[in-house]
Amino acid sequence: QVHLVESGGGLVQSGGSLRLSCAAFELSMSHDVMRRYVMSWYRQAPGKERELVATETADGDSTNYADSMKARFTLSRDDAKDTAYLQINNLKPEDTAVYYCNARFRYNNNTLWGEGTPVTVSS
């Protein structure tokens, strides 16, 4: 069974940057876990619904971003490390949220979620 673990969140001042990580682990300790999945990032701000930040296309050739996040957010991945990333630049207080990674299995669309990593942006 594959597990996702996010990290990299924290308290940052407005205008700062963070790189969030999402590591994929399989209890059988097999390699090349993340290669089987299409990765996305979501966030959930206090009192709000979870919203999509960025998602890869199925062929992996491009990434789609929420309109309000195109300029400052970048999803990337390193399959050799079984890790996906979300780079966030010029952070704003409204970016305060818990950020979750999501993995969709390429072969049957089953999805996995991590526990989230909180980001707090001070003004």
Angle of CA points 38, 87, 29, to nearest 5°: 45
Tens-digit pLDDT string for the chain (123 aa): 899 999 999 999 999 999 999 999 887 766 788 889 999 999 999 999 999 999 999 888 899 999 989 999 999 999 999 999 999 999 999 999 999 999 999 988 899 999 999 999 999
Task: List, in sequence order, every residue forming a beta bridge with 27; answer none if it has no partner.
Answer: none
